[in-house]
Amino acid sequence: MKYLGIDPQKVKIGVFDFTGCEGCELQLANKEESLLEFLSLLEVVNFREISSDSSQDYDIALVEGSISRKDEIERLTDIRARAKVLVAMGACACFGGVNYLKNQYPLKDVVKEVYGMHSVETSKVKRIADVVKVDLNIPGCPVSKSEVESIIVSIVVGAEVKIPKYPVCVECKQNVNTCVVDLGKICLGPITRAGCGAVCPTGKAGCLGCRGPAEDANYGSLREILREKGHCESEIEQKLCFYNAFNGSTEK
């Protein structure tokens, strides 16, 4: 960046996990071909998946997972207080994710079903934004590493972050796929934010909306289309609830 006279400082970054599978964190540690370059921009001070160091001094906090216990709220509040930029990373952090399904049932039943005799303390699942202020959402299940990388680069150099506003269909058509809806399945691609490269529809599986709503998505029209194709209301509802990504935004 010297060609612009800008000398970006290494930013201190901490990666933290809450209720989730840590799959997003693994994504970051995974892509070996760019891992070293990625790390050259950063000083990782707290990232359990790749280092045993743990310092509480960081500029950016990448937060993975949703919130489902009291002690998590305390930890998250503390992270927020220390971080200059707090990023919710992944569908769980942004929307509640698959964990959110639990909120459909009475807590008592959930604990019994999952833990049997060994009951644990747990509460209703919350999104990160339900607990603290979130500066930036990076959606996806899991997140796309290249998207996280480009966002981190943007933060490091102080450029505005860019994330697609249009739906998955664009990328799906660019992969020259056959439309999954035409194959008789439910696909949320038309209302879901692109950026994933349409991996699921490319594998002939309907999109479940892990990246949340595209901008100005037309929920009403998609519902009508799916109903006309013979999918029942409850089936459509089930897909829309999968990641809780469309909560409160889909009129019937």
List of residues contacting other proteins (CB under 8 A): 1-6, 8, 34, 37-38, 40-41, 149-150, 153-154, 157-162, 165-167, 169-170, 173-174, 176, 178-179, 181-184, 189-191, 214-218, 220-222, 225, 229
Beta bridge partners of residue 42, listed in sequence order:
11
In the bound complex, what is the minimum distance in angstroms from residue 116's beta carbon to other proteins?
A: 42
Of 142 and 167, the one with the shorter C-beta distance to other proteins is 167
Orientation of helix 145-157 relative to helix 23-30, angle to 10°: 80
Of 82 and 84, the one with the shorter C-beta distance to other proteins is 84
In the bound complex, what is the minimum distance in angstroms from residue 149's beta carbon to other proteins?
A: 5
In the bound complex, what is the minimum distance in angstroms from residue 50's beta carbon to other proteins?
A: 16
Of 116 and 158, the one with the shorter C-beta distance to other proteins is 158
In the bound complex, what is the minimum distance in angstroms from residue 23's beta carbon to other proteins?
A: 21
Of 220 and 232, the one with the shorter C-beta distance to other proteins is 220
